[in-house]
């Protein structure tokens, strides 16, 4: 079905996973993109994931549903209001944290990779995320990689999975610069958490504000804000 150079990419439709996918392509991987409908209030991002998967020339784009909103515990799945105008450099883990979300996502990516015969997973977590979300830290990614080999038939048979997090040490501005060098059109992406915003981002949720600061620091205009 696929060759040894295929990678499974977790693709949300935001700018990070788009950039992670472009890096995977630049490294010679063909892309099997996985988007999860997890009960996120900003399900509009899935439309962006479809545009981005096409732009990346993905071999396959699979959408899976698992309703994490039934489990509760997050503003991002409707448990409370999406915070606006929050202090961004707060030490606290924000209410948009979704319990164990990346573990659910990576386990689904691992399942698909094993079935495909792929051994490489890509996830767009980065330094900004891991200052707030525990499941974006380098030590978390390392622990999942170790688990992957213990969890699978492929691992027992002596193969190793690689979980690539190529943005993990990068700031948003560095991610944007890297993506622009790779020719990406960030106008395809969606970042806003607000379920009530229309095509235009709300500009006030954490995701909008981190994105705006990233474009400002990179010294370029966000195509979503110029149309």
Classify residue 4 by burial, with Cβ atoms within 10 Å: 0-12, 13-18, 19+.
exposed
* DSSP state letters, 32-49: EEEEEE-S-TTTTHHHHH
Q: 76 near 192, Cβ under 8 Å?
A: no
Between 31 and 188, CB nearer to a second copy:
31
**Interaction between residue 64 and a second copy (CB under 8 A):** yes
Q: Which residues pair with 122 in a beta bridge?
A: 9, 164
- The residues near 155 (Cβ < 8 Å, ≥ 6 apart) are 148, 149, 161
Site stretch for a second copy (CB under 8 A), options 22-30, 134-142, 167-175, 181-189:
134-142
**Interaction between residue 222 and a second copy (CB under 8 A):** no
Q: What does the per-residue mask of binding to a second copy show for 144-173, with x meaning CB under 8 A? A: x-xxx-xxxx-xx-----------------
Under rule CB under 8 A, which residues in 70-129 are in contact with a second copy? 70-74, 93, 97-104, 107-108, 110-112, 114-116
Residue 29 sits at the vertex; the CA angle it makes with 166 and 34, to the nearest 5 degrees, is 75
**Interaction between residue 31 and a second copy (CB under 8 A):** no
From the list 6, 35, 18, 10, the residue with the least C-alpha distance to 120 is: 6
**How many residues of this chain interact with a second copy, rule: CB under 8 A?**
44
Look up residue 32 and give its two tokens.
């099997």
Between 12 and 74, CB nearer to a second copy:
74
**Interaction between residue 180 and a second copy (CB under 8 A):** no
Interface residue list for a second copy (CB under 8 A): 62, 64-68, 70-74, 93, 97-104, 107-108, 110-112, 114-116, 134-135, 137, 139-140, 143-144, 146-148, 150-153, 155-156
């Amino acid at each position: 079905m696929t060759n040894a150079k295929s990678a499974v990419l977790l693709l949300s439709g935001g700018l990070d996973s788009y950039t992670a996918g472009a890096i995977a392509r630049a490294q010679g991987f063909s892309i099997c993109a996985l988007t999860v409908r997890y009960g996120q209030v900003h399900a509009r991002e899935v439309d962006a994931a479809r545009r981005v998967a096409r732009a990346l020339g993905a071999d396959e784009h699979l959408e899976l549903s698992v309703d994490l909103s039934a489990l509760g515990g997050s503003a991002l799945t409707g448990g409370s209001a999406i915070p606006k105008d929050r202090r961004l450099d707060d030490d606290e883990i924000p209410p948009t944290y979704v319990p164990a979300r990346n573990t659910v996502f990576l386990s689904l990516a691992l399942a698909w990779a094993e079935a495909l015969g792929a051994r490489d997973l890509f996830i767009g977590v980065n330094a900004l995320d891991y200052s707030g979300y525990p499941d974006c830290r380098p030590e978390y990614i390392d622990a999942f990689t170790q688990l992957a080999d213990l969890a699978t038939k492929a691992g027992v048979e002596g193969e190793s999975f690689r979980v690539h997090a190529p943005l993990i040490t990068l700031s948003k501005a560095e991610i944007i610069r890297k993506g622009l060098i790779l020719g990406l059109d960030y106008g395809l992406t969606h970042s806003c958490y607000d379920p009530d915003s229309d095509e235009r981002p709300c500009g006030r949720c954490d995701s909008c504000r981190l994105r705006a600061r990233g474009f400002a620091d990179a010294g370029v205009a966000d195509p979503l804000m110029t149309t």
